[in-house]
Amino acid sequence: MAHSPLPRGPVLGIESSCDETAAAIVAPDGRILAERVYSQIADHAAFGGVVPEIAARAHLAALGAMVKDALREAGLGFGDLAAIAGTAGPGLIGGLLVGTGYAKGVAIAAGKTYLAINHLEAHALTARLPGLAPVRPAFPYLLLLLSGGHSQCVAVEGVGSYRLLGSTLDDAVGEAFDKTAKLLGLPYPGGPSLEAIAQEGDARAVPLPRPMLHREGCDFSFSGLKTAVAQLVAAEPPGALARARAADIAASFQAAVTDILGDRLDHALKLCPDASAIIIAGGVAANTAIRTRLAAVAEKEGKPLIAPPLRLCTDNAVMVAWAAQERLAVGQASALNAPCKPRWPLEQLSA
């Protein structure tokens, strides 16, 4: 429920839900006063995926210096901030505790408002950052959230008001990219590696299934597609795949995913016909082929497509600080004992 607006001013946002440590300071008018991101890719590459304990320790080691650098760039001190915001979920519990613990500590020491931010809501509201699009999207709009942990179609009806239209029944789309890349012997992180090699391949070379295609609603399924790739690879001669073969499989896989996403978006629009715009967010939204396909669907339906710049598609603290600004504007803040939630569905915020 909205209350009287809280005091406004710059907000420090902290993101530590997975393997990026990030801090940013955003003004009420949307100006990004400073941003810092430390990627942990090198820390996890040897393991082929994110190791939660390593991630949490890296957040702890990096966060303090990053915040100091951000404040220096913005020309501010802790006393100049209106609020401190930290990602409280969903995500890896160790990283969430590090980030929110730091945010709460600063809020207590500086006597500032604290906001526990839902990572998915931060993605959902990024499109409203002033200057990001020619026209700021009005509520309601349709969000297609595509990441390593989530594949969702959401009607964004207001700050804190979300209606889930469809989600994955098994793997998230980013997870399917990463697992397929690993099957093809591609380096970590898998999604960008698969997209790069797919440019060398023939997208029609390998017939692959399109799960849920033309099915009513807008739920997703990617497990069967991933399994089909695994069976293809298992049938190949022993040893590393030839690069040309890996490129053809990668291109065919990416084409299947773009077909699925285009179809699911088309169905989602039928469930949210009054959407003012289509927003795509999350790490997979950085994929050029996917952006192109979704833009075609949006153009066919006469809806503007808003895709954040690539750096704001992946995990970042600008979106956390901006989500906090949106909440402050409607008088919403968090208690200092607000818990971290490794699982925190977006639609729970509406309750």
Q: Which residues are annotated as part of the binding site for Fe cation?
A: 119, 123, 315
Binding residues: 119, 123, 145-149, 178, 191, 195, 287, 315
Q: Are strands 113-118 and 83-89 parallel, antiparallel or unpaired?
A: parallel
Binding residues for substrate: 145-149, 178, 191, 195, 287
Cα separation, 286 vs 311, in Å, equals 9
Q: What is the DSSP letter of 187?
A: P
CB 50 within 8 A of CB 315: no
Q: What is the DSSP letter of 216?
A: S
| Residues in a beta bridge with 12 | 25, 84
Is the link from the previous residue into 273 a cis peptide, with omega within 30 of 0?
no
Cα separation, 181 vs 257, in Å, equals 14
| Residues in a beta bridge with 15 | 22
CA atoms within 13 A on the CB side of 30: 10
CB 100 within 8 A of CB 116: yes
Closest CA to 175 of 292, 50, 264: 50
